[in-house]
Structures are given as C-alpha cells and as structure tokens.
Chains A and B, each alone.
Chain A
Amino acid sequence: MPDTAAEVRQQIREVLVGVFGGPSFVSQLQDAGSLREAGVPSTALVALLVAMEDAFGFQWDDDVRPEVLRSIDSLAGHVLALRN
C-alpha cells in the first residue's frame, strides 16, 4: 500500500494506464492539471474511480466534491486524507 503522495500519484497513473490501454496519453498528464481539460472523458473518469476503489481499498462517497476529481494531485490527496 503506497504511503506517500508521490507513491499514490504513481499508482493512480498506473490505474489510468489500464483505463486508457497504454502509457502514451497518461504520460502527458500533469499531476496538477485538469483531467477534463486534458481530454479525459467521463467514461474514463468513472473507470478510474472504480479501479481506484479496488486499488486503494475504499469506496467513494457520493458527496465528494467535484474538485476532488479534478486532477491526479487532488485524487491522491483524497486517498491520503482517507487514510489519515
């Protein structure tokens, strides 16, 4: 189980590679950049959220704010916040 923000971000990237079927697109994503603005469609976002539940062992709550889902950084921050 990754413990640091860098490790969590890296694992989210690995999940995204699985969602997109390869590393080429994911390697262009900035940690703090908007996933939607980078071209991540909602379908991929949903797939990412499902995969994150499996990868990090938690379940999403439906009142999580949209800004949590904005970027790799914010997603990683949410994972770490849940652990703490």
Chain B
Amino acid sequence: MSAEAVQDEYYHDLSYREGTPLVGTREGVALYHESTGEGVAITTLNNFFFTAPFWRDYTDELAKHYRVVSYDLANHGHSTRLEQEPTWEEHVADLVGLLDALEIDSTYLLASSASTQLARDVALAHPDRVRGLVLAGPVVGPQIRRHRMLQRAWLRTLNSNDIPVLFSHMYPEFVSTQMIEEYGVPGYLGLRESFVAMSTPEELNNGLALAQQGDPSSELLTRIQAPTLIALGDDDILLGPTAGHELAALFPNGRCVIMPKAGHVPFLDDVLGFQELVRKFIEEAEDNA
C-alpha cells in the first residue's frame, strides 16, 4: 500500500471539539457529547475502547441524513470522572438524561461489541425512547460466555502488561484477516497509536470489568419490540453467520446482515457499506413506524 493510499485509508481525528458544554445527566455526572446533522436521531454507544470523536469517521454519511449523537460514557473520555465505574443501570440513566437534555424523544442506538449490552438494556428499560437498534458485532445472547472469556483474557493481559501489549493480543481477534493483510505492520502500528491515545489503563480495566457483568439471559432479547439490525462480519471470530441469524431470530423484529470479510467491528472494514446498511434499515423502519 502506498503512502498516499494509506493516507486515504486511515483518518482517525480523535481530537475533542473545544468549547462543547458538558451535559448534566444525574447528580455529579456530566457527559461530553457531539451532535451532527439533523432529523431522526442516531445515538452511538461506546464499547469502552472508543471515544466520542472516534465515531465521526464512521458516521459522516449518516450525518447527512440524520442527527448523529456521540458521547463519552461517564468515567471515560472527557465525561465526568467518578470514584467508581458506573453500573450498567447508571449508564442507562446517563443516556436517558442525555436524550432529555438534547430534547430527543427517541433515537436509534448504534452499538458495537460490549456496548450492545447497553443498547439492549436501554431498549428494555425505556422502549419508548428507542426507535431501533443497530448491533454491530453483538455480544448479547447465547454466545456471551465466549465473549466474556475473551474479555477476561484481555483484562489479564492488560493487568500483567500495558496497553500496547493488550493491543497486540486483541488485534488479530477483533480485526479481520483481510484488513490485517492489507494494512500490514505500518497500519497495525498506526491503529495501535490511536488505540493507545484513546484510553488509559484504568479506563480499559474498568470497562472490561463491567463488560463481565450484566444479565446474560437470551430471553431478554425476546422482549425487545424495537426493529433490530445485527450487522455481523463473516470473519467475526466471536459470532459466526449461522449464530448471527439465530440471534436475530430471538428478537421479535430482528434481522441479521452479513458483511463479507469483515471482522468483529465490521464498520472498520467497510465504512461506507456499513453506513448504507444502517441508512436502509432506518429508512425501512421509519416507513413501517
């Protein structure tokens, strides 16, 4: 890959927008957020490895059609730091508080990996606030045990080493085979640099520990009435295509779309294809609303 091609391929502007006021959500908690575009809202949910600015490059096309809201979870990024990591319930309350503050009655939730559990919990606790779910590389449902085992291994690596070593452990697991081949070592090092810049060891430790918690019951999914799209890479080592379709079938209004050669975070592999998938899903859901 030439330097020019790499330049086009990688753009991770992780800078925060200066002067953005934090939004109070509950006592002692204020969240950093970004809101781009107008119309029906899409709210992105960080999976403990991302920060709010990370989403810009993966939602820029969606922001031409919708209002895209990204925010940092409490105790992460530029949001309020707390003595204890919030529970899932508190993260749910924060999201609802954010929606209230931004005067968003209801929203689509766009979640990735560990944050699909948060999306599920919001949809269960506040169904009136959720227009639909997009679960990219979901870790809810019958396969959650494997994901938690993997995250425990990542946690052990982090606590025994440091973030760069954790990244070396995670990279071949969450990135697709095709992307690893195409990006080569310089791409790996560049992504690692972004990864290291986004989180502190404490943030990752807290997030990975929280991801071990929460109700693993598949039955919960059968109660979610909101339209649900599962976007699954067929090179996602945590969930194969067959299991992805079985997972979607648990949702009363769910479907699974397989993204060829994509990994556990499928929008990394096909930025535009993923956004088009989401746009069509929302278009259809709005038509049926």
Q: Chain A residues near B164 (CB, 8 Å)?
A: 65-66
Q: Chain A residues near B197 (CB, 8 Å)?
A: 36, 42
Pairwise interchain contact B3-A51, C-beta atoms closer than 8 A: yes
Residue in contact with A43 in the complex, picked from B6, B185, B189, CB distance below 8 Å: B6
Pairwise interchain contact B7-A43, C-beta atoms closer than 8 A: yes
B4 and chain A: residue at smallest CB distance = A47
Given A50-B2, A60-B186, A42–B7 Cβ distance below 8 Å? no
Interface residues in B216-238 (C-beta closer than 8 Å to A): none
**Dominant secondary structure at the B interface:** helix
Taking the complex as formed, is A53 at the interface, i.e. its CB lies under 8 A from any CB of chain B?
yes
B195 and chain A: residue at smallest CB distance = A42
**Dominant secondary structure at the A interface:** helix
Pairwise interchain contact B188-A50, C-beta atoms closer than 8 A: no
Q: Chain B residues near A66 (CB, 8 Å)?
A: 164, 192-193, 196
Taking the complex as formed, is A80 at the interface, i.e. its CB lies under 8 A from any CB of chain B?
no
Q: Chain B residues near A43 (CB, 8 Å)?
A: 6-7, 9-12, 190
Q: Chain B residues near A44 (CB, 8 Å)?
A: 7
Pairwise interchain contact A46-B6, C-beta atoms closer than 8 A: yes
Chain A residue total in the interface (Cβ 8 A):
24
Residue in contact with B190 in the complex, picked from A19, A46, A51, A64, CB distance below 8 Å: A46
B279 CB to nearest A CB, Å: 25
A15 and chain B: residue at smallest CB distance = B3
Given A19-B3, A19-B7, A60-B185, A42–B191 Cβ distance below 8 Å? yes
B105 CB to nearest A CB, Å: 36
Taking the complex as formed, is A61 at the interface, i.e. its CB lies under 8 A from any CB of chain B?
yes
Pairwise interchain contact A46-B10, C-beta atoms closer than 8 A: yes
Q: Chain A residues near B194 (CB, 8 Å)?
A: 42
Q: Chain A residues near B189 (CB, 8 Å)?
A: 45-46, 49, 60, 62, 64, 69
Residues of B whose CB lies within 8 Å of any CB of A are 1-4, 6-7, 9-14, 164, 168, 185-194, 196-197
